[in-house]
Amino acid sequence: MSLFKVIQENCPHCNAIQEIKYYQTVNVTLEPNLKEEVLSGTLNSKKCTNCRKEITIFSGLLYHDMENRLMFEVKVSDEQDERKAETLNEFKKNGYIYREVHSYPELVEKIHIFDNKLNDQVVESVSNKLKAMLDESLKQVKETDIEFNVFFKKIEKGLFKKKLVFFCFSHPSQIMEMKYEIKNLSANERKDLYTIDSLRG
Ligand SMILES: [Zn+2]
């Protein structure tokens, strides 16, 4: 079941007060259209009734895919909830894969990884490698604390070469694509890449 709240909120642009509906839980098996909204980033945003500009609500979100037994949670606070932890454990016992993320882009990345039937731990190890390399190269050019963001995009299935494709940026205005050939993975990683069930408790 999907859960949402309706609140009265002022538009951050023009201050007009209005009703805003935002989701706390989306069940994308029962409501597949909500998955589209999560992927396009429109789930918890609406156009202001007055100025027509975008209002986005930043809140925690639980993404629930019953069909593939996936549960991803966007956490915006460190609050611990014992009853919720118990419920989560029940899901994990039933073979659910649970992941905690801290932003919407990370949530979208998780969805893409599992939509491609890939093991997110292997993908993450590649993404960490690329990030370390990019951060290092940036440091060599100039003294800086700027770090790269690296997100999985897709898997490219060429005739001979399969590649993991990532998009990387240190600033959202300069997005570039990086490809990592699957043959460069270690033997174990190659074996694990297409094994998702090993991630299930
Ligand atoms: Zn407005």
Task: Return the pLDDT at 83.
Answer: 83
Q: What tens-digit pLDDT sequence spans the chain (201 residues)?
A: 899 999 999 999 999 999 999 999 999 999 999 999 999 999 999 999 999 999 999 889 999 999 999 999 999 887 778 888 898 899 999 999 999 999 999 999 999 999 999 999 999 999 999 999 999 988 888 877 889 999 999 999 888 889 999 999 998 889 999 999 999 999 999 999 999 988 997
Calculate how far, in angstroms, residue 152's C-alpha sits from the geometric centre of ligand 1: 34
Rounded to whole angstroms, how far apart are CA atoms 55 and 11? 7
Calculate how far, in angstroms, residue 155's C-alpha sits from the geometric centre of ligand 1: 40
Q: Which fold has domain 120-199?
A: Double Stranded RNA Binding Domain (3.30.160)
Calculate how far, in angstroms, residue 200's C-alpha sits from the geometric centre of ligand 1: 45
Task: Return the pLDDT at 162.
Answer: 93
Task: Return the pLDDT at 29.
Answer: 97
Domain spans in the chain, listed from the N-terminal domain onward: 3-114, 120-199
Calculate how far, in angstroms, residue 42's C-alpha sits from the geometric centre of ligand 1: 17
Task: Return the pLDDT at 132.
Answer: 95
Answer whether 109's CB lies under 8 Å from 152's CB.
yes
Calculate how far, in angstroms, residue 77's C-alpha sits from the geometric centre of ligand 1: 27
Calculate how far, in angstroms, residue 15's C-alpha sits from the geometric centre of ligand 1: 6
Predicted model pTM = 0.90
Calculate how far, in angstroms, residue 40's C-alpha sits from the geometric centre of ligand 1: 21
Task: Return the pLDDT at 131.
Answer: 96
Task: Return the pLDDT at 61.
Answer: 95
Calculate how far, in angstroms, residue 192's C-alpha sits from the geometric centre of ligand 1: 49
